[in-house]
Amino acid sequence: MKFKTDILSLSLKELSDFIVELGEKPFRARQVFKWLHQRGSSSFDEMTDISKKLRAKLEESSNIKNVSMVEKFISKEDNTTKYLFQIENDYIIESVLMKYEYGNAVCISSQAGCAMGCSFCASTIDGLERNLTAGEMLSQVYEIGKDLKERISNIVIMGSGEPLHNFDNTIKFLELINSKDGLEVGHRHITLSTCGIVEKIKELEKMRLQITLAVSLHAPNDEIRESIMPIAKRYSIDELILAAKEYADFTKRRVTFEYALIKGVNDSVECAKELAERLKGSLCHVNLIPVNDVKERNYIRSSDETVNDFYKVLKRLNIDVTVRRKLGSDINASCGQLRKKYIGNY
C-alpha cells in the first residue's frame, strides 16, 4: 500500500515543499492550508477554488486524518459537552467543550490512553495506546468548532495523555493552531498540563512560548506524591517545583499547580500548610480540584468543608488559589471516565 502524507500535520512551509514536489506552484500551499485549518475541511473535494488536477494529486498522495465523532453528551447541569472521537486504528479519545463568559474553551487529548499511571485518573487504567499526531490534536478543536458553529477561543491540553510525553507532536500542534493562516489561537489562550517531566519542562522553557504551564502536583511532599503518581519516583517534588519556578522566571508566565483533593490522602490542613511553605515566593497559582470518583479506584473526593478549609489555609498564607468549578459531573466529564465506560461496553 502506498504511503500517504499526513497533510493536516504539515506546517505551511512543509506543505509548500510538498505541493512543489507534486509539480504545483508554491502559492497553492496557502490555499490548501486555509481550507484545512481555517475551514476545517475533511476532504479535498471541498476545496472548490483548487483545480481538480491538484485535488486528484492530493487525494493520491496524502490524507486528512480527521477524528470522527462517535458520541456526544451534553450536561444538563452546565451545558458542558463531552465528545468521544474515533481515530485511526479504531482507538477512542475524548474532548470536552466548556462555555464561559469569555468564550468557548476545549480540553483536548494528546494521547490515546496514558502511560503515567496516576492512581486517581481513569485515563491511565489501560496504559498508553499511542501518541496522537499534531493533526489529530488539531482535528479535535476543528470538529468541535464545526459542531458548535462558534469560534474556539481557548484550548487546554489536559485530556487523556501526557502532552510532554508526546513532545514533538504537541509542539507542532502549538505552532499550527497559532498560525495566522489557521485558527490563530494565541498562545496566551492555551494551557498545557503536565504531570512533571522535568527535562521537557526545561526544553519547553527555552522555546519562550507564551502558553500557560499547568503542573499536576497533587501533593505537598514526596511521600504522598509517590503513593499516587509513579512519576514522582523519578523526579522529586523539589526538583519539579524548581523547574516550574525557573519556567515562570524565564517566560514571565505564572505557573498553575493543579491539586486534586483526595479524601484522607492529601487534603489535611497540615498538607495545606506544607504546600504553602514549598510554593512561597513562586510566581504561581494553585487550582484546587475536588477529585472525581473513579469506580476502578478507591479514592473519594474531599468534602466541601475540607476543600474550603484547605483553600482558607493557602489564602491566609498568601498563596494565590482558586477552587475549580466542577463541570459535567453528570456526563463523566473528567479525564478518561467516559472513554473507559464506552470501551467497556464494546
The residues annotated as belonging to the active site are: 94, 335
Q: Do the strands 154-157 and 111-113 form a parallel or antiparallel pair, or are they unpaired?
A: unpaired
Three cell numbers, residue 262: 483526595
Q: Which secondary-structure segment (H or E) carries 100?
A: strand 92-100
Phi and psi at 312, nearest 5°, equal: -65, -35
* Closest to 188 (Cα-Cα) out of 162, 221, 228, 154: 154
Q: Do the strands 92-100 and 81-86 form a parallel or antiparallel pair, or are they unpaired?
A: antiparallel
Report which DSSP code applies to 292.
P
Three cell numbers, residue 311: 483553600
User: 3-state DSSP call for residue 78?
Assistant: coil
Phi and psi at 23, nearest 5°, equal: 85, 20
CA distance 47 to 167: 31
CA distance 300 to 283: 31
Burial class (CB in 10 A: 0-12, 13-18, 19+), 309: middle
Contact 295, 334 (CB under 8 A): no
Q: Do the strands 284-290 and 103-108 form a parallel or antiparallel pair, or are they unpaired?
A: unpaired
- Placement of cell 486528484 in the chain: 56
Burial class (CB in 10 A: 0-12, 13-18, 19+), 42: middle
Contact 214, 233 (CB under 8 A): no
